[in-house]
Each structure stands twice: as structure tokens, then as C-alpha cells.
């Protein structure tokens, strides 16, 4: 179990009875899915504890327990289609094979399309006896209100700074404080960054500084960035834009940014206006939403860096 999940897990473990539908939410990269998978094991565990030693726990962990169904976005698709939701309804009406209950885990539940969401509503309104649905979502606002209203919400928080750093240090992540800051305090997200993430962050700041003060153009900065993994680069840029916005609005800086990095960010914020930074943020978020599409990477980066070019 992840250390920052202990309090939430203890609350669930102490509950006399779990709700038939539980919506597990919180920021990306904090381990919502592992928490939900452990809860699914607990519901079918022979000891009722998610002991990880009994046959039921081993089957569930391997994805082969006949009374646990995991639903996710099919490969090559952007949504969970209605046929998948209908399969859930059918699964829950069957009698359990090994356990005393049946469990469905829906990963990225906010990707249910409208037809799939509507298909699940009847089951949520009238759940079969001893059936449980665990929905996991980074963006619960995207779920239909009728889905949300029929689930009990469990919000998992980001770990404390010390917990996140300890976790990354245990996984031998270089410059864990900076990497955790880039991941907005989400350790599991930070583990997905390349090992040269700290150096990439320094390069990104250098590119932004050069364009902002007129030492280089947007086109020159694009040449340095178009070959970088687009999702990683856009994630870093989104976080930098978020920190710059916080600096401009409140004068404070997010946790994890300190020392030289903090000084550089404050100097960069002084060179830009809020409209420019929000333009970068909005452009980066839009590009991330289209990352799976065949984008012209040079055009994406050029449009981003153009927002920080000197005005007038």
C-alpha cells in the first residue's frame, strides 16, 4: 500500500458496509487505481482484508478472478463504449463463482460515453445483491451528474511533501524535489518522467528566458524542443505556466521550486504579463488534449513560444 493511502484505507476498512458504488477521485498520479485494485481484492479476499496471500487475492492480482471485472478504455479507442457497460450489467447479475460477491472496477470512468453511462444507470439505481462498482476518475466533473449522484465519493489526496520525496528517493529518482514539483506533487506521475527530467526542466526554463528577453526567437526555441517527447514537454510547460501564474497572482511559489529554480521563475515572471502566461497555459493544455493526433510538433512549439516573445 502506498504510504499516503493509509488514512483513507483505514476509513474504508473500518466501515461496517461499503457502498455499492464508490467513486474514487483525486489528482492524477497519486495511485487511485492501485487503491481501487486493492479494495477489489479486499472484497473477494478469503480473509476479508486484501491479505495478498490467499488464492482469491492472487487471482485478483493477476486479473483472473472470475468475480472481479476490470473495465477500461479499449486499445485504440478514446471512450468506453456502450457494449462494455452492458457487459458490466450482465456480469453483475450472475451468481459469484468463488467469492460471495461480484466486483467491477471501472478505470478512467470519465471516459464512459453517454450511451455507456446511461446503460450503467439502472445498475447504479438498483444494484444486484452483493455487487460492487468501483469507479476511478481523474476528472469526475466529466461524468454524468446522474452517475455521480448515485456513487459515494472518496477523494484521495496528494501525499505530503516528505512522503512524496521519500517515495521518489526510494526509487532512486534524480533530483526528486524538482521532479516532484514538475509532477505537481504526484509521485507516480513523477516516476513516468525520463531520467533526464531535471535537465529537461532547466533547458525549458532557458528557452523561455531566451525568448522572453529577446535573446532568441520562438523559431529558434522550437528547433531545441520539437524532437522532445511531446507529452513530457507539454506537461513540464503546463506546470511552469501554472507556477508563473501563481507567482503573478499571489506572489507565492508552489512547493518544490526553490533556490536557483525559484529565482529564475521569479525573474521570468517579471519579464512577462499574465496574458502571455495564460496564453502559454491554454495553448499547452489544448495541445495535450490532441497529443494522440498527428500534430505538427514544430507548429505546436512555435505557437507556444510565440506567446512569450517580447511585445511592442
d(CA 148, CA 162): 33
Q: Are residues 181 and 117 in the same domain?
A: no
**What local confidence, expressed as pLDDT, does residue 131 receive?**
94
Chain centroid to Cα 239, Å, comes to 14
Asked, for residue 229, whether it belongs to a domain, the answer is: yes
Question: pLDDT confidence of 201, banded at 50, 70, 90?
Answer: confident
Q: Are residues 141 and 88 in the same domain?
A: yes
Q: Give per-residue pLDDT as tens, 96-130.
A: 999 999 999 999 999 999 999 999 998 999 889 99
Question: pLDDT confidence of 289, banded at 50, 70, 90?
Answer: confident
Q: Give per-residue pLDDT as tens, 122-181.
A: 899 988 999 999 999 999 999 999 999 999 999 999 999 999 999 999 999 988 988 898
Q: Are residues 112 and 169 in the same domain?
A: no
Question: pLDDT confidence of 312, banded at 50, 70, 90?
Answer: low
Which CATH number does the domain housing residue 102 bear?
A: 3.40.50.300
* Per-residue pLDDT at 292 exceeds 80: no
Q: Are residues 135 and 232 in the same domain?
A: no
What is the arithmetic mean of pLDDT over 210-235?
Answer: 89
* Per-residue pLDDT at 70 exceeds 80: yes
**What local confidence, expressed as pLDDT, does residue 53 receive?**
95
Q: Are residues 262 and 299 in the same domain?
A: yes
Burial of 245 (0-12, 13-18, 19+ CB in 10 A): middle
* Per-residue pLDDT at 279 exceeds 80: yes
Question: Domain end: 155, 179, 196, which one?
Answer: 155
* Per-residue pLDDT at 311 exceeds 80: no
**What local confidence, expressed as pLDDT, does residue 10 receive?**
93
Which domain range does residue 122 map to? 3-155
Question: What total number of domains does the chain contain?
Answer: 2
**What local confidence, expressed as pLDDT, does residue 226 receive?**
84
Q: Are residues 289 and 170 in the same domain?
A: yes
Phi and psi at 261, nearest 5°, equal -60, -40
Q: Are residues 168 and 112 in the same domain?
A: no
Q: Are residues 143 and 61 in the same domain?
A: yes
Q: Give per-residue pLDDT as tens, 39-59.
A: 999 999 999 999 999 999 999
Percent share of the chain, pLDDT over 90:
65
Question: Domain end: 108, 134, 155, which one?
Answer: 155
In order, the DSSP letters of the chain are --GGGHHHHHHHHH-SS--SEEEEE-STTS-HHHHHHHHHHHHH-SSSS--SSSHHHHHHHHT--TTEEEE-PPTT-SSB-HHHHHHHHHHHHSPPSSSSSEEEEETTGGGB-HHHHHHHHHHHHSPPTTEEEEEEES-GGGS-HHHHTTSEEEEPPPPPHHHHHHHHHHTT-SSHHHHHHHTTT-HHHHTTS-TTHHHHHHHHHHHHHHHHTTSS-HHHHHHHHTTS-HHHHHHHHHHHHHHHHHHHHHS---TT--HHHHHHHHHHHHHS-HHHHHHHHHHHHHHHHTTTS---HHHHHHHHHHTTSPP-
Contact (CB, 8 A) for 27 and 137: no
Asked, for residue 179, whether it belongs to a domain, the answer is: yes
Predicted TM-score of the model (pTM): 0.86
Asked, for residue 311, whether it belongs to a domain, the answer is: no
**What local confidence, expressed as pLDDT, does residue 260 receive?**
78
Of 94, 96, 106, 35, nearest to 70 (Cα)? 106
Q: Are residues 172 and 64 in the same domain?
A: no
Asked, for residue 312, whether it belongs to a domain, the answer is: no
Strand partners, 105: 70, 134
Question: pLDDT confidence of 198, banded at 50, 70, 90?
Answer: confident
Which CATH number does the domain housing residue 283 bear?
A: 1.20.272
* Per-residue pLDDT at 195 exceeds 90: no
Say which residues have a Cβ less than 8 Å from residue 153's Cβ, sequence separation at least 6. 22, 23, 25, 140
**What local confidence, expressed as pLDDT, does residue 184 receive?**
87
Q: Are residues 127 and 231 in the same domain?
A: no
Question: Domain end: 108, 136, 155, which one?
Answer: 155
Q: Are residues 292 and 166 in the same domain?
A: yes
Q: Are residues 46 and 92 in the same domain?
A: yes
**What local confidence, expressed as pLDDT, does residue 291 receive?**
60
Asked, for residue 143, whether it belongs to a domain, the answer is: yes
Give the mean pLDDT of the chain: 91
End-to-end CA distance of the chain: 55
Amino acid at each position: 500500500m502506498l504510504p499516503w493511502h493509509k488514512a483513507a484505507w483505514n476509513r474504508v476498512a473500518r466501515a461496517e458496509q461499503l457502498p455499492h458504488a464508490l467513486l474514487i477521485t483525486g489528482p492524477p498520479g497519486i495511485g487511485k487505481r492501485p487503491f481501487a485494485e486493492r479494495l477489489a481484492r479486499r472484497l473477494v479476499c478469503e480473509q476479508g482484508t486484501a491479505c495478498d496471500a490467499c488464492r482469491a487475492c492472487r487471482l485478483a492480482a493477476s486479473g483472473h478472478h472470475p468475480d472481479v471485472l476490470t473495465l477500461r478504455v479499449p486499445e485504440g479507442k478514446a471512450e468506453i463504449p456502450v457494449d462494455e457497460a452492458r457487459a458490466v450489467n450482465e456480469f453483475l447479475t450472475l451468481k459469484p463463482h468463488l467469492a460471495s460477491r461480484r466486483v467491477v472496477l471501472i478505470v478512467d470512468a470519465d471516459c464512459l460515453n453517454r450511451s455507456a453511462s446511461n446503460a450503467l444507470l439502472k445498475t447504479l439505481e438498483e444494484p444486484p445483491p452483493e455487487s460492487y462498482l468501483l469507479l476511478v476518475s481523474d476528472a469526475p466533473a466529466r461524468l454524468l451528474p446522474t452517475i455521480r449522484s448515485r456513487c459515494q465519493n472518496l477523494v484521495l489526496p496528494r501525499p505530503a511533501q516528505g512522503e512524496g520525496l521519500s517515495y521518489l528517493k526510494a526509487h532512486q529518482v534524480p533530483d526528486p524535489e524538482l521532479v516532484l514539483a514538475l509532477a505537481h506533487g504526484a509521485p507516480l506521475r513523477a516516476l513516468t518522467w525520463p531520467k533526464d527530467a531535471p535537465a529537461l526542466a532547466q533547458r525549458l526554463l532557458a528557452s523561455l528566458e531566451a525568448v522572453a528577453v529577446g535573446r532568441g526567437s520562438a523559431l529558434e526555441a522550437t528547433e531545441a524542443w520539437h524532437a522532445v517527447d511531446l507529452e513530457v514537454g507539454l506537461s513540464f510547460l503546463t506546470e511552469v505556466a501554472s507556477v508563473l501564474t501563481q507567482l503573478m497572482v499571489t506572489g507565492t511559489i508552489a512547493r518544490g521550486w526553490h533556490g536557483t529554480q525559484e529565482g529564475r521563475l521569479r525573474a521570468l515572471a517579471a519579464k512577462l504579463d499574465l496574458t502571455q502566461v495564460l496564453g502559454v497555459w491554454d495553448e499547452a493544455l489544448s495541445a495535450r488534449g490532441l497529443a494522440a493526433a498527428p500534430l505538427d510538433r514544430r507548429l505546436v512549439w512555435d505557437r507556444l513560444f510565440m506567446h512569450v516573445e517580447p511585445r511592442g
